[in-house]
Structure 1
Amino acid sequence: MVNCSGLGSRELVEDSAVSPVRGQVLQVQAPWLKHFIRDGSGLTYIYPGASHATLGGTRQKGDWNLSPDAETSRDIFSRCCTLEPSLHRACSMKERVGLRPDRPSVRLQKEVLARDGWRLPIVHHYGHGSRGISVHWGSALEAVRLVNECVQALRTPALTSKL
């Protein structure tokens, strides 16, 4: 089993170290944009897509609010227009808010849960926060390696003493 429950891990596995990082972005129609643009801190960015460009953003630790904030949207738009002035002519602006699961360190480990004589291997894989976009490949490969170890352990009969 793999636990990728993110913020749900607070209750599912009683991990109080997991907390939200609120992210707010804007989606705009700007089909002329073809290149990613990002400031040095990574907080202000423009990611063009097939149907819209995503302008961002925020990193608000501990904030559970899923409602868009108009002042934050104005700030994001202003910062992005500083990076790319042609955005002033963008249209169809939509606000989006999401919560990223964050921890002091990513939880990427095996655990064996034992209950009523049953042993269930589990791989925990969550808590990337806003770092997920940069570490997802390596993190996913490590999770697969751990899952393969669990599968191998289930296939290998345990040695038992006959004394």
Structure 2
Amino acid sequence: MSEAELKKFPQHVFGHAFTTLKCESPTYLPWLEKRLKGSGVLILTRRIGDLWELHPSFDIVVNCSGLGSRQLAGDSKIFPVRGQVLRVQAPWVKHFIREGSGLTYIYPGISNVILGGTRQKGDWNLSPDAEISRDIFSRCCALEPSLHGACDIREKVGLRPFRPGLRLQTELLAQDGRRLPVVHHYGHGSGGISVHWGTALEAASLVGECVRALRTPSSKSKL
């Protein structure tokens, strides 16, 4: 950042300015779903407690259950990283602002501005904490004083499915003579939107390998 730009942040001695894009999940995910349905994909909603419940209805399973993989895949390495943010109306805020630690940030969007945040490892609590909200608002106002005039302040809490190392691999489950190929694809943490397209292509490649193996005459001996 230039000296003129840094004058807006007197508590900091250096910074970076750049142009980027922001992907808003509330709009993006419905668009993805519509795209899938348009290509003939059937979407079913169903609660399961075991991956074997999907067999024999499905030959291959892609496990994208996130934190649910603790139960479905027996993976104790995945855990929640609690994030609490504020959604406010402040349409005059047009630029992203993020402090070096990444815990304090201001992200303007189409319909509101996101103020954050927290990164609480192992915390499953989905209820907003009023004290944390006050701290978030105070930190963000220190970066952008005009936020004192923000209105319609709403609290939001989410659990990021974090794992020390994204799990992107094929596992062959076997039970009572049955076999079920499972492609695991979870553990993205807070970086899911950033890397999702690339990891989805990798997962699709693994599914392709499973399909080819099932179609091979000797697949029973291989799987």
State the aligned residue count.
161
Tell me how far 1:140 sits from its aligned partner. Answer: 2.2
| Long gaps (5+) in structure 1 | none
Residue aligning to 1:7: 67
CA–CA separation in structure 2 for the residues paired with 1:72 and 1:8? 27
* SS of match in other structure, 1:109: strand
Residue aligning to 1:71: 131
2:132 is matched by which residue type in structure 1? T
Give me the CA root mean square deviation: 1.8
> Does residue 17 in structure 1 map to residue 92 in structure 2?
no
Residue aligning to 1:147: 207
1:146 is matched by which residue type in structure 2? L
* Superposition misfits of 4+ residues, deviation over 4 angstroms: none
Residue aligning to 1:33: 93
Tell me how far 1:159 sits from its aligned partner. Answer: 6.4
Change (3 A) 1:88 1:120: same
Normalization by structure 2: what TM-score?
Answer: 0.67
Residue aligning to 1:104: 164
Alignment check: 8 A CA contact 2:81 2:120 kept: yes
Alignment check: 8 A CA contact 1:28 1:54 kept: yes
Choose 75-84 or 15-24, whichever is displaced more.
75-84
Normalization by structure 1: what TM-score?
Answer: 0.89
* SS of match in other structure, 1:145: helix
Could you report, residue by residue, the CA deviation over 1:67-113 in whole angstroms, capped at 9, with x for unpaired residues? 11111111111111122222111100000011111112111111111
In the alignment, which of 158, 168, 176 is matched to residue 116 of structure 1? 176
Residue aligning to 1:81: 141
2:113 is matched by which residue type in structure 1? A
2:148 is matched by which residue type in structure 1? H
Alignment check: 8 A CA contact 2:183 2:207 kept: yes
CA–CA separation in structure 1 for the residues paired with 2:138 and 2:196? 30
Tell which has more relative contact order, 1 or 2 (C-alpha 8 A, sep 6+).
1
Alignment check: 8 A CA contact 1:59 1:130 kept: no
Alignment check: 8 A CA contact 2:105 2:115 kept: yes
> Does residue 44 in structure 1 map to residue 104 in structure 2?
yes
2:66 is matched by which residue type in structure 1? G
Tell me how far 1:24 sits from its aligned partner. Answer: 0.2
Name the one with the larger strand percent. 1
| Long gaps (5+) in structure 2 | 1-60
CA–CA separation in structure 2 for the residues paired with 1:72 and 1:36? 21
Percent sequence identity over matched residues? 76
> Does residue 126 in structure 1 map to residue 183 in structure 2?
no
